[in-house]
Amino acid sequence: MADRFAPGARVRTFRHDPPHHTRLPRYARGKRGVVVEPEGRAELADVSAQGHGDAPVEQVYAVRFAARDLWGEGDHHVVLDLWESYLEEVRDDER
Amino acid sequence: MARINDVGGMQGFGAVDTTDDTEPFHADWEARVVGLFNALRAQGMFNTNEFRDAIESMPAKEYLAASYYERWFTAICALLERKGVIEPGELDEQGEPTEQGEPAGLEARERAEQGESAELEARDG
Amino acid sequence: MSGDHHDDALISRRVRRLETLLEERGVLSGGALDEAIDAFLAQSSPANGARVVARAWVDPSFKSRLLADGTAAVQELGYMEGSYQRLRVVENTESVHNVIVCTLCSCYPLRLLGPSPSWYKSESYRSRVVREPRAVLAEFGLALPAGTEIAVWDSSAETRYMVLPRRPADTESFPEEELAARVTRNALIGTAAV
């Protein structure tokens, strides 16, 4: 299956706040970042954590966030490893 | 809702104690717990995500009060109970009457909260 | 630090009772646990990461392979064989400093760095290094120039990160083993320079 996002793609994380295990920390929910690279496919942790043997397998991406976008200030970057279904595309006409 | 493990960006945990540990484990039981985790995961008793989920599902106050490998042990026990391998309470000390007539497990727990922690603190410091 | 107030003797007995129960029920065989512990300790040490760094410093082609595909490169040296995890090595340069964390739990390149230090697993480090890395690094005694860009790698999936520190200037004549001896665990996490 082809990767949905290429390196350099602008993405936004979902704002979801699930009642179960997830690997999208709350500080990075609903935030815009840039894909660094694909990391390889892995079972979606949210489903795998429930002990099901049939968790969907998705591409995981390293996604880079500017501190300013996460915290409103700061000049560092934070990179997170995020499953494809945590991410949506940011359209070109979005500022 | 976010769980207690999800601490990125939270205030209030204070300065980092940068003391370097010279030994991989502070007590033999910590190594046993790591061994339990590795052996049980290797045989498919649970996967790493289930294990993380079990740690995060600890009540927030217990999570913060527990040491790192205590969290691991709590999670291993919770998963083994969920899978029907052990029964709740099975690891408690039973049948050993104490001075107060309380089960030894309870008595030891109270002791841990009072006098004996002083010695442990001194050693950890 | 959490966990200072608990009774080692009490939990130690509970762990032993669990081991006994699992053996009685045929879930674990007698020596399985000792084997798991020995295997873990035998293949997990910060000396491994230090050797990888020293090799990268003396061998430019190894260094490019290491930065391109960390897992494959360290497997050349016999590390991380059979691991389901991926290793990504991030290089410190004059302009960029990298530091590793796991805010959600304690993900860490165990095979290359051994069991992690207590501070790495602490809520203080995990909560703050993504928010104010410069202040946290200062607490480790690492003062970075104002212009240095900081990248914080928050391991949230199956990739494990290791920092390739900058080689100290005065070490041109050093043999590889001596270089490796200079590399500390904190330098491999990014909370120290070499």
Q: Domain of B54?
A: 27-87
For A4-52, what is each residue's pLDDT tens digit? 999 999 999 999 889 999 999 999 999 999 999 999 999 999 999 998 8
Q: Which residues of A touch B46 (CB under 8 A)?
A: 51
Within 10 angstroms of residue A10's Cβ, the number of other Cβ atoms is: 14
Q: Is B18 on the interface with C (CB under 8 A)?
A: yes
Asked whether residue B115 carries a pLDDT value surpassing 50, the answer given is no
Q: What is the DSSP-derived secondary structure letter of residue A57?
A: E
Copy the structure tokens of residue A3: 């990767």
Angle at A74 between CA A72 and CA A80, to 5 degrees: 85
- Higher confidence at residue A59 or residue B42? A59
Strand A87-89, strand A77-83: pairing: unpaired
% of chain B residues with pLDDT over 90:
65
| pLDDT tens digits, B41-62 | 999 999 999 999 999 999 999 9
Give the number of other CB atoms < 10 A from CB of residue C17: 15
Using CA of residue A41, residue A46, residue A51, residue A56, what is the dihedral sign? negative
Catalytic residues of C: 102, 105-107
What are the pLDDT digits (tens) for A62-81?
999 999 999 999 999 999 99
* CB-closest option in B9, B49, B53 to A27: B9
Question: To which H or E segment does residue C72 belong?
Answer: helix C70-76
Contacts of B55 in chain C (CB under 8 A): 105
Q: How far is CA B76 from the centre of its chain?
A: 9
In a shared domain, residues B77 and B103: no
Query: What's the CA gap between A44 and A31, in Å, rounded?
Result: 20
Interior angle at CA A41, CA A33 and CA A15, nearest 5: 35
The span from the CA of B73 to the CA of C164, in Å, is 34
* pLDDT at site B96: 53
Phi, psi dihedrals of residue C127, rounded to the nearest 5° = -75, -35
Assess A35–C contact: CB distance below 8 Å, yes or no. Answer: no
Domains of chain A: 10-89 (2.30.30.50)
B8 vs C14, C21, C103: nearest CB = C103
Mean of pLDDT values over B25-51: 94
Q: Is B21 within the bounds of a domain?
A: no
The ipTM is 0.96
Do residues B73 and B115 share a domain?
no
Confidence of residue A95 (pLDDT cuts 50, 70, 90): low
Whether B83 and B107 map to the same domain: the answer is: no
Which of the four pLDDT bands, split at 50, 70 and 90, describes residue B23?
confident
Does A27 contact C103 at a Cβ distance shorter than 8 Å? yes
Assess whether B37 and B76 both reside in one domain. yes
How far, CA to CA in Å, does C12 sit from each of A10, B33, B69?
50, 10, 11
Residues B108 and B61 grouped into a single domain? no
Structural domain includes residue B121: yes
User: Does the residue B49 lie in any domain?
Assistant: yes
Taking an 8 Å cut-off on Cβ atoms, the answer to whether B49 and A49 are in contact is yes
Does position B99 have pLDDT exceeding 50, yes or no?
no
pLDDT of amino acid B107:
46
Cβ-in-10-Å burial (0-12, 13-18, 19+) of C141 comes to exposed
Instruction: Determine, yes or no, domain membership for B16.
Output: no
Q: Which residues from A are below 8 Å from B78, CB to CB?
A: none
Contacting chains of B (3 CB pairs or more, <8 Å) are: A, C
B69 and B115 in a single domain? The answer is no
Among A82-91, B80-89, B101-110, B112-121, the minimum mean pLDDT is found in B112-121
Domain-located, residue B22:
no
pLDDT per residue, tens digit, chain C (194 aa), is 344 445 789 999 999 999 999 999 999 987 888 888 888 888 888 999 999 999 999 999 999 999 999 999 999 999 988 888 899 999 999 999 999 999 999 999 999 999 899 999 999 999 999 999 999 999 999 999 999 999 999 999 999 999 999 999 999 999 999 999 999 999 999 999 99
As a whole number of angstroms, the distance between CA C142 and CA C151 comes to 15
Asked, for residue B13, whether it belongs to a domain, the answer is: no
Residue B7 belongs to a domain: no
Give the pLDDT of residue A16: 84
- Closest partner residue to A78 (CB to CB) among C152, C158, C159 is C152
How many domains does chain B fold into? 2
Confidence of residue A91 (pLDDT cuts 50, 70, 90): confident
For residue C67, the model assigns a pLDDT of 98
Number of neighbouring beta carbons within 10 Å of residue B41: 17
Which chain A positions have a beta carbon within 8 Å of C152's beta carbon?
76-79
Which is more confident, C81 or B120?
C81
pLDDT of residue B95: 58
The one-letter code for the residue type at A18 is P
What does the pLDDT read at residue C6? Answer: 55
Q: Does C135 touch chain B (CB under 8 A)?
A: no
Exposure string for C92-115, b = 16+ CB within 10 A, e = fewer: beeeebbbbbbbbbbbbbbbbbbb
Binding-site sequence positions of C for Fe(3+): 102, 105-107
**Cβ-defined contact of B25 to C114 (cutoff 8 Å):** no
Nearest to B8 among C22, C39, C127 (CB): C127
Which residues make Cβ contacts (< 8 Å) with residue B115, sequence separation at least 6? none
- Whether residues B83 and B109 share a domain: the answer is no
Q: Chain C residues with CB inside 8 Å of B113's CB?
A: 5
* pLDDT at residue B110 in the model: 47
What is residue B101's predicted lDDT score, i.e. its pLDDT?
Answer: 45
- State yes or no: pLDDT of B3 exceeds 50: yes
**pLDDT at residue number B4:** 95
Taking CB atoms and an 8 Å cut-off, how many pairs form between chains A and C?
64
Search chain B and give the residue with CA nearest C110.
B24
Whether residues B109 and B83 fall in one domain: no
CATH number at residue B66: 1.10.472.20
Q: Exposed (0-12), middle (13-18) or buried (19+): which is B61, by Cβ within 10 Å?
A: exposed
Cβ(B78)–Cβ(B52) below 8 Å: no
